[in-house]
Structure 1
Amino acid sequence: MKLLAFVPIKLTLLFIIGILLGHYFPFNSYFALVLTLVCFIGLGFIFQFEQHTKSVWFGILASLTTIALGAFIIIKAQPQQRNNHYSKLTIDQESVWHLKITEVLKPTTFSERYIAEVKSVDGSFATGKLLINKFLEDSLTKVSVDDELYTINQPNNIKPPLNPHQFSYKAYLKKLGIHHQMGLSPNSYHKSENPSSTLFGIAANARNHIIEKLKASNFGEDELGVIQALLLGQRSDISKETYDNYKNAGAVHILALSGLHIGILLLVLRFLLRPMERLPEGKKISLLLTVLLLWGFAYLAGLSASIVRACTMFSFVAYALYLNRPSNTFNILALSMFFILLFINPNLLFQVGFQMSYAAVLAIVWIYPLLQKLWFPKWKPVRYIWQLFSVSVAAQLGVLPISLFYFHQFPGLFFISNLLIIPVLGFILGTGILVIFLALIDQLPYPLAWGFNELITYMNATVAWVAKREDFIFKHISFDGIQLLLTYFLIAALGLLLSQVNFRRTAFFLVSVLCLQAYTMYLAYTSSQKSEVLLLHQTKNTIILDRNGPDVKVHTLDSLAAQNPIKAIKIGERFSSINYDGVGNSYVVQGKPLLILDSLGINPKNNKKPIVLLTHSPKINLDRFISATSPIQIIADGSNYTSYIRRWKATCVKHNIPFHYTGEKGFYVFDGAD
């Protein structure tokens, strides 16, 4: 099947190219608008006077128009492009912010977190989104979706990661259109008594009401957390141990209410509504009811971004199934993606959930039939297991490169967990919806609640059993963006080869394998040739990473605590092994002496113009020390008191000496060592 022969697929790919161009090479939004309008006018002119759409110029201009539209949409979708964005207003320390809570996030150890829309600043209309951190000492004041807050607290920048290759929460929030955060302490804000209601707020209130009803039905704590995730998209109450079990077993997608659940629900609804298709116009009525029930479930789940995306995608899939033309499935999927990116949010293209949902569905639609052609067992039980295995393999092939790129691990027993859970997931979802309905009307019988609780207990125990086979969990896999693209080329070549074996496709597959192998070997070689010394940031600890080709040594006082930042660097830089050692008082870096002053404050003598590292808050007179040694650079890591940092920084400014604090500027790089 030649996918690029379908117009919707070509338009969607061109639209995505435009979004990528606008995202990575942003330009003025007015220029993007003018360019798009000019392309549309030229397209209309050719269509009017050429009298047909098969001319070369029409195709070229249609492609340019679609690309220009994608670039304009992504540029216009950036909040800071709007004239009334809060960042473009004149704001002082006494400005009053009017905020509306739009989403409740999972709390951290120190604070409750929310996403809020800016309604106004000092009474002037404003737009934009902020990350709100409400400190836990203010836990008596409950904040929910649709609540409106007034505060004079001012937003702050979101810090980037302080160590190399660490997850960047700042970059993640930027993709959501959030560029600043605001802290709220007790008595620093007040809630509006009569906030306006929105559809999202009503949905959130309905979900909270359902959760309270379920809590009154005596479900187990772990079971209730999983039920909330499966049916309501609420994962904040799942214990870390349970979540890690699902992740290590390759079943974490079961807890993320998105494409898998909506796809299964779609199949269940089609099965239940199939008798209706015998009626006049029964197929249309069945389609309408299916879509309405899908969106009803989305509303029940709180209309989160992932569920809205999944329901939009599978509404188009339902229409494709209604047409009963298998070749149209690719068209419909492409149209659903085009619709979501154009009318909902083009920034979704850069979100992991969006990428994995479409990668999995496209792989199932394309690769699953190819695997079924390879073998079609005659015995029904074997055929069922083979079909489930084929679906799991196809889905895993689709998401494998994305999973390795973002999470750097692969669960080898994913098929076992899927084989044991997926067959009953439809029953779990259907029973769960019934349980919720009966709980809402206070008619949930104890046997049904007990049985459903036991079913979830069985599922959790099964996942935990699979997760304990740690030898089959491949972690800390180095995988970059180029490897991601090359792997997808390899998967595409494999799909083409499975559909038809010929010389050209075999050669394409072998070349794809060689390209991936060659690039991976190149990365391993360049990694083995690299030499550098890094000072990392970690609270209450000192970490110096000394790398000389393949030999990596970490000098630290707490090797167990140091493994957290080291793990990310090991993955990103492709270290094979690391040796740990203590921290000395002096080293030589680039031919320059590096002095380390710790809490003892011992100063090695006969050192002039050194680089100085201050650790664990040494009690020294920095003015006198500077006069005696004339340091060329003073560095302080995360093991020092912040009050000392402020004093040292002021002293360095007075003496005109560069000062680097890792808690503010991030890790420090020494280029090479002796």
Structure 2
Amino acid sequence: MKYPIYPITFSYVSGIFCGFYLKLPDIAVVSVTVLSFVTLFSLYILQRNKGFNNKLNLFTILAVFVTFSSLGFLSYIFNNKPIIIDDLNAKEFTIKVTDVLKSNAYSHRMYANLLSQKDQPKVLVTFSNKLDIPKVGTVYKLVGTIKKVAEPRNLYDFNYSEYLRLRNIHYQITSYHEPFKIKEEKSFQSIIISGRDYLTAQFSKLGYSEKTQGFIQALLFGIKTNLNDEIQQQFKDFGILHVLAVSGMHVVLLFSTISYVLRKLRLSKNVITVILIVFLLIFSLMAGFSGSVVRAALMCLMTIVGTLTGRRIHTINLLVGSMLLILLFEPNYLFDVGFQLSYLAVFSIVFCYRVIQHYFTFKNWILNYFGQLIGVSLVAQLGVLPLSIYYFKQIPLLFLIGNIIAIPITSFLLCAWFIQMVLSLISVEVLALITPILSWISTFCFDSLSRLSDYFSIKTIDFHFGILQTILALLMVFTIFWFFQKKKLYKVYVFLSIVILFQLITLQNVIENKRKEEIVVMSDADNVVILNKVGSKINQIGNANKYTLQSLKNYELHTNSKVKTIDSIQNSFVLKGKTWLVIDSLEVYPKQKFDYVVLYQNPKINLDRLMHDVQPKMILLHNANYQYLNEEYSAYFKKRKIPYHDMRTKGSYVIDYNSGNN
């Protein structure tokens, strides 16, 4: 093939996906990998010695696919070895902070290495926020509890445990006490972060407000720990949250700015190349090696290498090559949302924009700039839209307005703040003179978005795609642009086939959801909330708190159903011919048989008498109960082999009447 990087990358990515979804013996995968490598090498020798042979094409393609698929499979397996901590009853831990997350109102949050464990696995840690925000490299001794990261509490909630597992984090330590600081260890990572903190601290010397400093830190280095919640919500409403995450756009802007300045200083080509390479490496380190930054940095490096070696540079080749290089070192990047959206957006621009570029090209440079901005924003948004719907369950309506306002302003501010930060190392007083101007520009951006946000009452449309619908929707988008690149009749047939398949899958989902009947006892920290779903209608019993309301919204989107009635919770009621009893803190209940019993609000009752009087088929331990009480009840039911469901540890309880399973 002319570009073998394409089938190699496709095969490797397929192998990573197979490793994620399939569980196969390591020895079997290793055997297949070795055998396929030997076969591929033999075919290569045979082709080289006897000349190109069309008859061996199919075998060569199969050998390439199997070889690199199995290599991707092995890469995923070896990067995701299961981590098991035997002593989950330990109370004292020694940790070393590796990443600091955004603190909440109650505690500091961070990733840390568990030094008191032999393999020093990475864990999620939360402890009291009475101390200063922890720093990377700090070693603490703390008292708390350790457990596996909890699964989602309700159906279709964000799976935080899966998110952490792909970062090789399986356990979390919780402490409600102040930790004891042992020492601060210096490492390459802590030195880089210290340098980043020193640079961001320059902006406090330059006279910026805390609100603006948080915005600067997010824009320059992707640090969101100090970002104002109101600003973040504004950018989210307009579908431009990517502007606040250090992305490829930021890297390219700074790369181009530095390159332009260095050329104007008439430095030699070799010196410029070295400075640009050093900048890309340091900036990637300071941005925490986020997927989009690494992608852009690698593409810039490849462009430099291609220019120096006199090779032709194809953006698609750079895109695919950078993806392969990243995934060779860190296959879990493939499941990072930012990584996926970044590559998909760039691919959309490269593949689709040239088809419509002439519609957004003008002779006037101002009109041309905004025309190009609108055109690029449209194709990028259209390309990532199916994936955005899949992950975020929303269609942003104001993204175009947001891009027109935010991108020009933030692009200018990004370059201006970067130059101001670097030059302030020479003279803070002189550079502080332009602070009022840049502050006014940033405030103008916030105020403009705020006023527009208030003007539009509807900013997003809630929507949901399944994984197959997402893939087919992406194929539909790119097939349309593929057709207009070079119009052929067979492309129309391909597009129609994808549309029909998409409609069939959507129709199947609608039919399944209409037939589905189930009862869901939702995990709510305050109230008993029960959903009785019959087809597309839901009867809700009990009022949900604000957190469970979001889970309820997710449930409605995924099942294509709506809450039609909301009834108050009673102590006893009948659903689907089954009797239910809710025993609360009053501890009053009738002496008759019930199918399901919910223990709620810490009832301290005689369990032997309850079992004798009520004879339930299933006991539900509500998560509003104290933890120690649920543990006591669980021990009792487990010992006597009585069916029970602890909602504190297992989340919501589902009765599926279509399959008869709970």
The question of a shared fold, defined as TM-score above 0.5 by the shorter chain, is answered with yes
Does structure 1 retain, via aligned residues, the 8 Å contact 2:144–2:176? no
Per the alignment, do residues 655 and 40 of structure 1 end up closer, same or farther by CA in structure 2, a change over 3 Å counting?
A: closer
- Confirm whether residue 45 of structure 1 aligns to residue 38 of structure 2: no
Does structure 2 retain, via aligned residues, the 8 Å contact 1:541–1:558? yes
Counterpart-to-counterpart distance in 1, 2:541 and 2:67: 56
Counterpart-to-counterpart distance in 1, 2:156 and 2:545: 19
Structure 1, unmatched stretches of 5+, are none
- Structure 1, residues 333-381: CA drift from partner, whole Å, max 9, x if none? 11111111113x0110011011011001111111111111456444444
- In structure 1, the partner of 2:134 is 143
Matched letter for residue 521 of structure 2: L
Across the two proteins, how many residue pairs are aligned to each other?
652
Does structure 2 retain, via aligned residues, the 8 Å contact 1:313–1:337? no
Matched letter for residue 148 of structure 1: V
From 164, 171, 193, give the equivalent of 1:204: 193
Matched letter for residue 96 of structure 2: K
- Confirm whether residue 567 of structure 1 aligns to residue 556 of structure 2: no
- Structure 1, residues 66-104: CA drift from partner, whole Å, max 9, x if none? 222111111111143xxxx6x38x758669865432211
- Confirm whether residue 592 of structure 1 aligns to residue 581 of structure 2: no
- In structure 1, the partner of 2:623 is 638
Name which of structure 1's ranges 48-57 and 330-339 shifts more when overlaid on structure 2: 48-57
- In structure 2, the partner of 1:105 is 101
Matched letter for residue 228 of structure 1: Q
Matched letter for residue 200 of structure 2: I
Counterpart-to-counterpart distance in 1, 2:260 and 2:534: 62
Counterpart-to-counterpart distance in 2, 1:21 and 1:174: 17
Matched letter for residue 556 of structure 2: K
Per the alignment, do residues 14 and 301 of structure 1 end up closer, same or farther by CA in structure 2, a change over 3 Å counting?
A: closer
Name which of structure 1's ranges 592-601 and 450-459 shifts more when overlaid on structure 2: 592-601
Matched letter for residue 75 of structure 1: I
From 383, 386, 400, give the equivalent of 1:415: 400
Counterpart-to-counterpart distance in 2, 1:325 and 1:419: 36
Taking the TM superposition and a 5 Å limit, the aligned residue runs for 1:216-295 are: 216-273=205-262, 282=269, 286-295=272-281
Does structure 1 retain, via aligned residues, the 8 Å contact 2:409–2:445? no
Q: TM-score, with normalisation over the residues of structure 2?
A: 0.90
- In structure 2, the partner of 1:485 is 471
Does structure 2 retain, via aligned residues, the 8 Å contact 1:536–1:637? no
Matched letter for residue 21 of structure 1: C
Counterpart-to-counterpart distance in 1, 2:304 and 2:172: 40
Q: TM-score, with normalisation over the residues of structure 1?
A: 0.88
Matched letter for residue 39 of structure 1: S
Name which of structure 1's ranges 441-450 and 545-554 shifts more when overlaid on structure 2: 441-450
- Confirm whether residue 182 of structure 1 aligns to residue 167 of structure 2: no
User: How far apart are residue 499 of structure 1 and its match?
Assistant: 0.6
User: How far apart are residue 672 of structure 1 and its match?
Assistant: 4.4
From 6, 12, 36, give the equivalent of 1:15: 12
Counterpart-to-counterpart distance in 2, 1:240 and 1:307: 24
1:663 aligned counterpart, secondary structure? helix
- In structure 2, the partner of 1:666 is 651
Matched letter for residue 224 of structure 1: Q
- In structure 1, the partner of 2:498 is 512
Per the alignment, do residues 94 and 33 of structure 1 end up closer, same or farther by CA in structure 2, a change over 3 Å counting?
A: same
Counterpart-to-counterpart distance in 1, 2:234 and 2:468: 30
- In structure 1, the partner of 2:160 is 169
Counterpart-to-counterpart distance in 1, 2:279 and 2:638: 65
1:475 aligned counterpart, secondary structure? strand
- Structure 1, residues 306-343: CA drift from partner, whole Å, max 9, x if none? 53444224433555677898772111111111111113
- In structure 2, the partner of 1:61 is 63
- Structure 1, residues 360-406: CA drift from partner, whole Å, max 9, x if none? 11111111111114564444443332211111012112211111111
Taking the TM superposition and a 5 Å limit, the aligned residue runs for 1:484-563 are: 484-558=470-544, 562-563=548-549
Name which of structure 1's ranges 516-525 and 313-322 shifts more when overlaid on structure 2: 313-322
Name which of structure 1's ranges 225-234 and 177-186 shifts more when overlaid on structure 2: 177-186
- Identity percentage over the alignment? 27
Does structure 2 retain, via aligned residues, the 8 Å contact 1:230–1:255? yes
Taking the TM superposition and a 5 Å limit, the aligned residue runs for 1:67-78 are: 67-78=69-80
Per the alignment, do residues 636 and 63 of structure 1 end up closer, same or farther by CA in structure 2, a change over 3 Å counting?
A: closer
Does structure 2 retain, via aligned residues, the 8 Å contact 1:589–1:670? no
Taking the TM superposition and a 5 Å limit, the aligned residue runs for 1:335-354 are: 335-343=321-329, 345-354=330-339
Per the alignment, do residues 174 and 476 of structure 1 end up closer, same or farther by CA in structure 2, a change over 3 Å counting?
A: same
1:192 aligned counterpart, secondary structure? strand
1:208 aligned counterpart, secondary structure? helix
Does structure 1 retain, via aligned residues, the 8 Å contact 2:295–2:323? no
Counterpart-to-counterpart distance in 2, 1:660 and 1:529: 26
Counterpart-to-counterpart distance in 2, 1:604 and 1:96: 46
Counterpart-to-counterpart distance in 2, 1:610 and 1:296: 63
- Structure 1, residues 575-628: CA drift from partner, whole Å, max 9, x if none? 2444322112322234321122234444245x3243212223345444333322
Name which of structure 1's ranges 301-310 and 107-116 shifts more when overlaid on structure 2: 301-310
Taking the TM superposition and a 5 Å limit, the aligned residue runs for 1:276-315 are: 282=269, 286-301=272-287, 303=289, 307-315=293-301
Does structure 2 retain, via aligned residues, the 8 Å contact 1:152–1:189? no
